[in-house]
Structure 1
Amino acid sequence: MITRHFIDVDTNGNKRRVHYRLAGKGPPLLMVHQSPRSSKEYEPLMQKWANHFTCIAPDTPGFGQSDALSGKPEINEYADALIELVDALGIEKCAAYGFHSGGIILVTAVKRHANRFTALAIGGYAIWTPEEMNLFSDKYLPEFHPSQYGEHLAWLWNRILEQSWFFPWFATDDEHRLSVANDDPLRVDAVVREMLDAGNAYQSGYGAVLRAPRDIPAADAPVPPCLISAYDGDPLQEHIDRLGAMPPSWSARKVATPDEHQAASLEHLLATETELVTALQETADEGFIAVEIENFNGLIHWRGNRAASTLSVHAPGKAAPKCGDDDGLYIDLAGHGLSDDWMGEAPTDWASWSKLITACATQLDVDRIDYEPLPVGDAKLLYPDLSPDRFGNYLTKAWQIVRATVMFEPWYEAATAHAISFDPDQLRPDILAERHLERLNARAAKAYHIALQTR
C-alpha cells in the first residue's frame, strides 16, 4: 500500500512543509519526479518496486503539496533541498531514481553531496544545444496566474495536451512533432491538476532545471554508480549521444520501451547495497489515516490539532480549510480534497458516510463531530458532471460555478430573487482558484449531499 505523509524541513530557520509518498520495505530509494508533475506520477512504479525498496517519493518544492522555496532558487537550491529532506527523514545514505528534470536535480545533488547516495538511475538526461536553449528562451515557461474569468484554464489545457504532440510544446511544426501524440482526457487532466496545484511556482522549479549546467561529473570524480537510459519516443533519447566522457561507474544506453527502461533501472539499483531504512519522521498537525470499511479502503487527509475534542466535517463540494490559529481538527471526506475515492460509485446512503466519518473520529480520538451546513439547492443541479472531456470544457465549467456560487444561492439560479450579498474580495482570482480546485476534487459531492438529506 502507498501511504502519504508530511514533514517539516528547516532551512536556515525557514520552515517549509514537504509532502511525500511511501511504499514498500527494505533499503531506501528516493524517487524524484519530473516537472511540472508531482510524486503521484510514481504511484505505478512504486507499486512495482516496493518489493525491493522502501520507496520514498517527495513532491519537489513548489509542486504537488510541498511548499515552494523562498526567493529565486536555482538548481543548487533544489538539490540541497533534497538533501535537507533526507536529513529530516533521518536517512544517512540512499539509492535514487529520477526522470527527466528529476534526474537533473539528482545529478546536481550527487555532484554536491556524493557521499549521500549509493546508486542512481536516471530516465533521460537533457544536454541542450545553444540553439535549443535559444528556442526555449522565455516562451517555454510563461507566468501562470489565475484570471478573473478563467481564461488561464483554456491556455493550460491546450499547453498540456499539445506537449505530447510537439516538443517544445509551442514549436508547432513538422520538425518538432513527437511520435507519442495522444488526446486522452484523463492523461491530460492528471498533469493539468498538478499545474493547478503548483500555480506560478512551476516557473521557479522548472526554470531552475532548464537553466542548470548540463555537465555531468568529471571522469575522475568520486561518485556513486549511475545508469542513464531513455526509450524510443522520449525526446531526450538522442541526448544519450551528447553525454560525452563519464566516470567509470557511469553508463548510458538507449532502450525500446518504458518497461525496458524501468527494468534496466531496477537491475542497476539492486546491484548496490544500502542500509535498511528506520521509521521516517512526519508532522504532528497534518497527515493521512488509513480507513477500511465497506466500499472504502484508502487514505483520508486530516489537518489541525490532534488534541482537539471535535472533528469538523466540511460541506459537499468543499475540503478541509487551511488551518490557521483556530485550533480545530478537520478532514477531507472520501472523494474530496486530498482524500482517496470510494471504491466504485460513491454511496448515497447516510449509513455508509456515517461509518466512514465515525471511523475517522475514532482514529483521530475525538468525542464530537460538527457538520458544516448543507448547501441550498437540488443536488442534481448543484453538482453537474465535471469529468475531463476531450476539449477541457470541464475546467471552465467548474470556474463559472465557483464564480456564480459567490453571487447566487443556489448558484444555478442566476436571478434577482436568488441574489445574495457578498464581499467582492471573494471574487479575487486567487480565492476562486482555491475553490475551483476544491470543486474539481469533489468527485463524491453529489452522493454526499444526497446522503446528508437522509441523515
Structure 2
Amino acid sequence: MITRHFLTIPASGARPKRVVHYRRCGSGPILLMVHQSPRSSAEYEELIRKWSRSFTCIAPDSPGFGQSDPLPGVPEVGDFADTVVAFLDQLGVKRCAAYGFHSGGIILAHLLKRHPDRLSALAIGGYAIWTAEEMRIFGEQYIPEFHPQPYGEHLAWLWNRILEQSWFFPWFDPRDETRLSVAHADPERLNAIVMEMLDAGNAYRFGYRAVLLAPGEVPPPDADTAPVLLSAYRGDPLGAHLDRIDQMPKNWRAEKVESPADHQDLSFAFLSEHAENSPQKLAEDDSAGFVAVGEGLIHWRGTRGAENMLLHAPGAELAEPSAGELAIDVPGHGLSSDFEDYGAAIEAARIALGASNLLWPAIPPGDPDRLYPDLTPDRFGSYLQRAWSVARASAIFVPWYAADESHAIAVDQSMLTPAAIALRARALLRAGKSAAKWHQEIISHRQ
C-alpha cells in the first residue's frame, strides 16, 4: 500500500521552514523518485507499486507542486536540487539510488553535480539538452502567468493547454513539424494533470523555469560520478536530445527504446544493479498526515488524541483546526480516499487518531439532487466551468442554484475574490460524486 506523509524542513539561512509531502511504499533499498513538472508524486503511483517489490520507493512533491510548500523568490535548478538534499537529510537518508523523468531527471542531475556523494546511481527518462534558441523560445512562451480569473476564464486556457501538449511540442507551436506520436484526448488523464496545475497555481512556472533555463548537465569524459543511465522511448519529445550528447563519463550511458514499458524495465534493471541499502526508519510530521483505513487513507491535521474531530460540509475540505482540535478530509473529499461505507471509515479514523467525539456539519440547505452537479471530466473540459460557476454562485445565493431575491445572501467581497472561488471550485472538483453521498450520510446521522 502506498502511504502518504508530511515532513517539515526547518528554516535555514534565508529560507523559511517549509512542508514537504511525500509518498512511500515497499521495502528494501531506498529509491528516490522525483517527478516532472507540472505534476506531483502522484504520477508515479503505478510505477511505485511495480518497483516497491524491490525498493522502498520515496517520492516527494517538489516545492510548489502537489502538497509541498513553494520556495521563496524565483528559484534556480540548483535550489530545487538542494531542497531534495534537505529533504533526504530530514528524512534520515544519507545515500540512495534515484530516478527522475524529464524535469525530475534534470533536477537530479544537478543534485549529482552539487552533492556527488548522495546518489549511488541515477536513472533518467527523457533528458533535455537545450540549445540557446530553445531556451529563449521556451522562456518566453512556455510558462505564461497562471492566475484565477473572476469568471473562470483561466480554466478554458488550462484545459486546452494540457490537452494540446500531447499533440505538439512545444504546446504553443501547432505545426505538422511539431506533432507528437503520443497524442490523445483522454479526459481522465487530462484531469489528473489539470488538478495538479490547480494545486500548483502560478508556482508551476518556477519549477518549469528552473529546468528550461538549466544547462544540460553532462560531465566531461574524465569525470568521476555515480553511474547514470539516460533513456528515452519512441514518441518522447526529448528523445532526440540524446543525440545531442557528444561525450559522457565512462559510467554514463544513453539508450533509446521502443516504449514507456521498455524504458521502465531498463531503468529498473539498472537501478537494481547499483542500489545500496539504506536506513528504513524515516521521519514524518506528527501534526498532520494520513491514517490507513482498510485499503484507503484519511487525511488529517491537528492534534492526535483531541477530544473533538471536525467533519466538514459536502464539497468542502478540512478547515485549519484550532489548538487541541483535530480535523479530517471526509471520505472522497480533499486528500482522503473514497470508501464504500463513509460512516465506518470515519469511525475507524476517529479510533485510530484517538478522538473522543465527532463534530458533524449542518445539513446544507437545498435539494441534494441539484446541489451537486455532475463534474465528471468530459472531452471539452466543460466540467471545470461548471465547478467554477457553482463556487461563485454559492457566495451570492443559498442554495446556489436558487438565483432569486428570496435566496440572496449578503455579499461578502472576500468570498468573491478569484482566489477564494478557486479554493471552493477545487474542493468541488476533488469531491465530485462523493459530495452527494456525504450529504446523505449527514442526513442519516441527523435522523
Short-chain TM bin: over 0.9
Which residue does the alignment assign to 1:349? none
3-state SS of the aligned residue for 1:318? coil
Name the aligned partner's letter for residue 186 of structure 2.
D
Which residue does the alignment assign to 1:22? 24
Which residue does the alignment assign to 1:431? 420
Indicate conservation of the 8 Å contact 1:26/1:277, yes or no. Answer: no
User: What do the CA deviations read for 1:298-352 (whole angstroms, capped 9, x no partner)?
Assistant: 00000112242110001111110234x544210011110001122xxx5xxxxx3
Name the aligned partner's letter for residue 321 of structure 1.
A
Instruction: Map 1:259-270; keep pairs closer than 5 Å.
Output: 259-270=261-272
Task: Work out which of the residue numbers 302, 305, 308 in structure 1 matches 2:306.
Answer: 308
Tell me how far apart the structure 2 counterparts of residues 53 and 273 of structure 1 sit (CA, whole Å): 9
User: What do the CA deviations read for 1:381-407 (whole angstroms, capped 9, x no partner)?
Assistant: 001110000000000100000111111
Tell me how far apart the structure 1 counterparts of residues 253 and 418 of structure 2 sit (CA, whole Å): 48
3-state SS of the aligned residue for 1:29? strand
Instruction: Map 1:204-219; keep pairs closer than 5 Å.
Output: 204-219=206-221
Which residue does the alignment assign to 1:396? 385
Task: Determine whether 1:288 maps to 2:290.
Answer: yes
Task: Determine whether 1:372 maps to 2:370.
Answer: no
Task: Determine whether 1:332 maps to 2:329.
Answer: yes
Tell me how far apart the structure 2 counterparts of residues 409 and 357 of structure 1 sit (CA, whole Å): 28
3-state SS of the aligned residue for 2:265? helix
Tell me how far apart the structure 1 counterparts of residues 189 and 435 of structure 2 sit (CA, whole Å): 23
TM-aligned CA deviation for residue 48 of structure 1: 0.6
User: What do the CA deviations read for 1:342-372 (whole angstroms, capped 9, x no partner)?
Assistant: 2xxx5xxxxx332221111100101111012
Tell me how far apart the structure 1 counterparts of residues 168 and 26 of structure 2 sit (CA, whole Å): 37
TM-aligned CA deviation for residue 209 of structure 1: 0.7
Task: Work out which of the residue numbers 430, 440, 451 in structure 1 matches 2:441.
Answer: 451
3-state SS of the aligned residue for 2:365? coil
Which residue does the alignment assign to 1:409? 398
Indicate conservation of the 8 Å contact 2:109/2:217, yes or no. Answer: no
User: What do the CA deviations read for 1:136-180 (whole angstroms, capped 9, x no partner)?
Assistant: 232100010001110000000000000001100000111111111
3-state SS of the aligned residue for 1:271? helix
Indicate conservation of the 8 Å contact 1:114/1:222, yes or no. Answer: no
TM-aligned CA deviation for residue 11 of structure 1: 4.0
Indicate conservation of the 8 Å contact 2:21/2:68, yes or no. Answer: yes
Task: Determine whether 1:322 maps to 2:312.
Answer: no
Indicate conservation of the 8 Å contact 2:293/2:349, yes or no. Answer: yes
Give the gaps of 5 or more residues in structure 1: 347-351
Name the aligned partner's letter for residue 366 of structure 2.
G
Indicate conservation of the 8 Å contact 1:54/1:277, yes or no. Answer: no
TM-aligned CA deviation for residue 115 of structure 1: 0.4
TM-score where L is the length of structure 1: 0.95
TM-aligned CA deviation for residue 130 of structure 1: 2.4
Name the aligned partner's letter for residue 325 of structure 2.
G
User: What do the CA deviations read for 1:188-243 (whole angstroms, capped 9, x no partner)?
Assistant: 11100000000000011110010111131222222100100000000111111111
Indicate conservation of the 8 Å contact 1:123/1:261, yes or no. Answer: yes
Instruction: Map 1:51-450; keep pairs closer than 5 Å.
Output: 51-292=53-294, 297-323=295-321, 325-342=322-339, 346=340, 352-443=341-432, 444-450=434-440
Name the aligned partner's letter for residue 318 of structure 1.
A
3-state SS of the aligned residue for 1:115? coil
Name the aligned partner's letter for residue 82 of structure 2.
D
3-state SS of the aligned residue for 2:274? coil
User: What do the CA deviations read for 1:26-85 (whole angstroms, capped 9, x no partner)?
Assistant: 000000000000000000000110011000000000000000011111011000000000
User: What do the CA deviations read for 1:83-111 (whole angstroms, capped 9, x no partner)?
Assistant: 00000000010000000000000000000
3-state SS of the aligned residue for 1:407? coil
TM-aligned CA deviation for residue 276 of structure 1: 3.2
3-state SS of the aligned residue for 2:394? helix
Moved over 3 A (4+): none
Tell me how far apart the structure 2 counterparts of residues 338 and 33 of structure 1 sit (CA, whole Å): 19
Which residue does the alignment assign to 1:4? 4
Indicate conservation of the 8 Å contact 2:121/2:228, yes or no. Answer: yes
Indicate conservation of the 8 Å contact 2:24/2:57, yes or no. Answer: yes
TM-aligned CA deviation for residue 450 of structure 1: 1.6
TM-aligned CA deviation for residue 131 of structure 1: 2.8
3-state SS of the aligned residue for 1:398? helix
User: What do the CA deviations read for 1:260-296 (whole angstroms, capped 9, x no partner)?
Assistant: 100100110011141233211011111000002xxxx
Name the aligned partner's letter for residue 405 of structure 1.
S
3-state SS of the aligned residue for 2:190? helix
Range that drifts further, 422-431 or 128-137: 128-137
Tell me how far apart the structure 2 counterparts of residues 281 and 372 of structure 1 sit (CA, whole Å): 34
3-state SS of the aligned residue for 1:55? strand
Indicate conservation of the 8 Å contact 1:11/1:84, yes or no. Answer: no
Tell me how far apart the structure 2 counterparts of residues 207 and 450 of structure 1 sit (CA, whole Å): 45
Name the aligned partner's letter for residue 189 of structure 1.
N
Indicate conservation of the 8 Å contact 2:63/2:71, yes or no. Answer: yes
TM-aligned CA deviation for residue 454 of structure 1: 2.1
Indicate conservation of the 8 Å contact 2:41/2:61, yes or no. Answer: yes
Count of residue correspondences:
442
3-state SS of the aligned residue for 1:165? coil
Relative to structure 1, is the Cα distance of residues 278 and 337 closer, same or farther in structure 2, using a 3 angstrom cutoff? same
TM-score where L is the length of structure 2: 0.97
Name the aligned partner's letter for residue 374 of structure 2.
D
Tell me how far apart the structure 1 counterparts of residues 60 and 180 of structure 2 sit (CA, whole Å): 29
3-state SS of the aligned residue for 1:98? strand
Range that drifts further, 133-142 or 372-381: 133-142
Quick one: percent identity of the two aligned structures? Answer: 54
- Aligned-residue Cα RMSD (Å) equals 1.1
